[in-house]
Amino acid sequence: MAYYYKECSRTFSEYLLIPNLTRKDCVPENVSLQTPLVRFQKGEESPLKINIPLVSAIMQAVSDSGMAIALARCGGLSFIYCSQPIESQAEMVKKVKKYKAGFVVSDSNLTPENTLADVVALKQKTGHSTIAITDDGTANGKLLGLVTSRDYRLSRCPLDTKVKEFMTPFSSLIYAYEGVTLSEANDMIWDHKLNCLPIIDKNQKLLYLVFRKDYDSHKENPNELLDSHKRLMVGAGINTRDYKERVPALVDAGVDVLCVDSSDGFTEWQKDTIQWIKNEYNGEVKVGGGNVVDREGFLYLAEAGADFVKVGIGGGSICITREQKGIGRGQATAVIEVAAARDEYYEKTGIYIPICSDGGIVHDYHMTLALAMGADFIMLGRYFARFDESPTRKLRIGNNYVKEYWGEGSNRARNWQRYDMGGAHKMDFEEGVDSYVPYAGKLKDNLDVTLSKIKATMCSCGATSIKELQKVARITLVSSTSIIEGGAHDVILKESDISE
């Protein structure tokens, strides 16, 4: 006879937090959102932590190198999508690891033989007015000069004028050599009243550009997530098919952590994948597993060696697994049970395995609920897909701007490996949809608001850390009518006046 769960499967929207005493030290500036990323022994600290409890989903429409750089600069982590060739995924990882806060790899480059017309066209394409002139026109060629908007006047220079005739030549440039620190580079910029400082190697090859305007930007990102070499951290997704080829390429590229991307992680294929990685790299390479929704699934992956476990099936905004297969669980119920299993495992073994809540987030306060219920960090797709930094197109539909957003289980993604059932290489039916999400602007602007809400709620709960929140949080179920009561009701809302 089938086993029947007695409790109802519930979502985050069915719960609210009850305030605790807010102590005088419970103010947002005292709240730490740092959280462990991978397993650790009792009495020790996790070897990998993130500075905010948010990671971006392993999706084509969300996590490329651009999102990874932007999110790591804010303290979070991206898992670059694996539904692409191994070489291109590894290149994305390399791009993040090569990025240094304040040190910019030039994306606007020409040769001395190019013309002013080429300068104008490149400026229109990239939006950048500083162009590096190298011997081969690449970002790492021998630096021969720079062109900025001060070097030419379109009203006086013919468009066929060669770059070498108006560029600022290398002999007139102030530059620094490889190994200079960002602080030293910024001092040179201020001392010499520069807008841009090139960084070269001993052979005059261009490495980076440091801009005056990035000084303030660097100061605005105190939570940057950096590895021991001061490089941004980045994760990557893998599947249970080509992991023996994909993992070595990602490790060589410098990836910090891996995650098996699967809609159902309670499988022998996932166990084999995790154990191969652990044996091949003597436990040095960190890898998360998932997704699961109950105690048994968590324990299976914990024993397999997973460094963290991802929780959630069917709760994503573009996921239709529950509709198609009738499999899944309300995200709140799943997190609560897996968190209890995690704590039980910790008491029994002395090993703490972080859990990641993946899916079910509709409102920002759901994130705080997920953390209070036991999640160590949260994976988000739709939330990040709305921003400039996601890799999809921004479109105008009617009077509104939107961004494209599709699931890894959709025909557009064709990520059949994520739904691997051990058979032929094909997708028999979709488990995700192709859609749009409202465009929301820059990641940092929106993320700052979200984090402010999380911190304010934690203060109301009497907590200044995620661990404290999980100990002191008081949570209540809500009725359908109390949900209505919680929004604006029984009033006539004013229509926004653009002139105000």
**Distance between first and last Cα of the chain:** 65
Angle CA(411)–CA(272)–CA(43) in degrees, nearest 5?
A: 110
Active-site residue 474, yes or no?
Answer: no
Dihedral sign for Cα 277, 294, 268, 417, please. Answer: negative
Is 354 exposed, middle or buried (CB count within 10 Å of its CB: 0-12, 13-18, 19+)? buried
Residues 6+ apart with CB under 8 A from 376: 35, 36, 37, 53, 308, 354, 355, 356, 466
Three-class DSSP category at 54? strand
- For residues 201 and 216, what is the distance between their CA atoms, to the nearest angstrom? 26
User: Residue 319 catalytic?
Assistant: yes
* Distance between CA atoms of residues 292 and 288, nearest Å: 12
Residue pair 256/227 in contact (Cβ under 8 Å)? The answer is yes
CA 321 to chain CA centroid, Å, is 24
Between CA 98 and CA 169 the distance in angstroms is 27
The Cα–Cα gap between 66 and 289 comes to 24
List the catalytic residue out of 386, 418, 459, 461: 418
Among residues 74, 196, 319, 356, which one is catalytic? 319
Q: Which two tokens stand for residue 199?
A: 């960084």
The Cα–Cα gap between 403 and 313 comes to: 24
Q: Where are the alpha helices (DSSP H) in 39-195?
A: 65-73, 86-98, 116-126, 182-191
Q: What share of the chain is helix, strand, coil (3-state, %, to 5)?
A: 35, 20, 45
Phi, psi of 485 (to 5 degrees): -60, -30
Active site residues per annotation: 319, 418
